[in-house]
Amino acid sequence: MLELFPEGFEELDTPSGLELVAYTDPSGEERLWHVFGGARGADVDAGWEERWRAFHRPVRAGGLWIGPPWEEPPVGITAVVVDPGRAFGTGAHATTRLCVELVSALPRGSLLDVGCGSGVLAIAAAKLGFAPVHAVDDDPAAVEAAERNAAANGVRVAVSLLDALSAPLPAAETAVANVTLDAVRRLALRLDCRRLVTSGYLVSSAPRLVGFRPVRRVQEEGWAADLWEAASE
């Protein structure tokens, strides 16, 4: 679903199980049929474009409050205010929280966020004291959202539009990749970093990354995130 609808989809608990809902057009419904072997379509009420706001709730992770601009952060906690716009990433998903948890415990230094989406992980890292912070994505909407959110949060994040699986990537002491499992494996061969935080896959997945050794795993709601160190360290 993330690959089919990177702009987001809805998860609904029903008596028969988990239902995944995408707001799309006939071409999107056809893609669902091809991938899952079936789908059910229905017309939606006017104003569906704003329904996602009801599910964009603040969360806490790594000592930070992460939430949308229409929510008021509590007094006395560092806030990361994220408006995803048309980009993926609100901070509420378990994989994002897990990545922030792992990053918050690491030594401060330079950081690279690969597949940054709305920029939530890069901005969180900057708020935690990492610098310099770079963020890359191959989606122009993500780059625009990440730049806008970094400015709104008053942090410096260098955001670049590039394909992380083919273009050269800046070196960093820590890299973060909250992407697909296949992309994580391929990125490990291209990254120049001492530490790597990865997520975007289920607990049942146990990736092995060339050039890295596992250090720590955290999990939540069936999702996992892993901390790795360069094998040469």
Q: 224: which strand partners? A: 201, 219
What is the average pLDDT score of the chain?
A: 89
pLDDT digits (tens, 9 = 90+) for 93-103: 889 999 999 99
- Would you state the pLDDT for residue 51? 60
Please choose, from the candidates 13, 180, 197, 158, the residue with its C-alpha nearest in 3D space to the C-alpha of residue 88.
180
Answer yes or no: are the C-beta atoms of 179 and 6 closer than 8 Å: no
Lowest-pLDDT choice from 9-13, 55-59, 83-87, 159-163 = 83-87
Same domain, 124 and 24: no
Same domain, 75 and 185: yes
Instruction: Tell me: pLDDT of 86 over 60.
Output: no
Sign of CA dihedral 84, 86, 92, 94: negative
* CATH number of the domain residue 145 falls in: 3.40.50.150
Same domain, 33 and 92: no
187 lies in some domain: yes
95 lies in some domain: yes
Give 172's Cβ-side CA count (13 Å radius): 30
- Would you state the pLDDT for residue 87? 45
pLDDT band at 50 (very low <50, low <70, confident <90, very high): low
pLDDT band at 47 (very low <50, low <70, confident <90, very high): low
For residue 196, report the phi and psi dihedrals to the nearest 5 degrees.
-140, 130
Same domain, 41 and 82: no
Instruction: Tell me: pLDDT of 44 over 80.
Output: no
Same domain, 38 and 116: no
150 lies in some domain: yes
Number of Cβ atoms within 10 Å of the Cβ of 70:
9
3 lies in some domain: no
Provide CB contacts within 8 A for 143, sequence distance 6+. 137, 159, 160, 161
Number of domains in the chain: 2
189 lies in some domain: yes
Instruction: Tell me: pLDDT of 52 over 80.
Output: no
Same domain, 30 and 84: no
144 lies in some domain: yes
Residue-range definition of the domain harbouring residue 33 = 10-49
Lowest-pLDDT choice from 76-90, 110-124, 200-214 = 76-90
Residue with the larger pLDDT of the pair 57 and 58: 58
Residue with the larger pLDDT of the pair 34 and 158: 158
Please choose, from the candidates 91, 93, 87, 94, the residue with its C-alpha nearest in 3D space to the C-alpha of residue 115.
87
Same domain, 31 and 99: no
174 lies in some domain: yes
Same domain, 61 and 128: yes
Same domain, 132 and 183: yes
pTM, rounded to two decimals: 0.78
Same domain, 171 and 111: yes
Sign of CA dihedral 153, 159, 164, 168: negative
Lowest-pLDDT choice from 24-28, 53-57, 227-231 = 53-57
SS3 144: helix
- Would you state the pLDDT for residue 13? 84
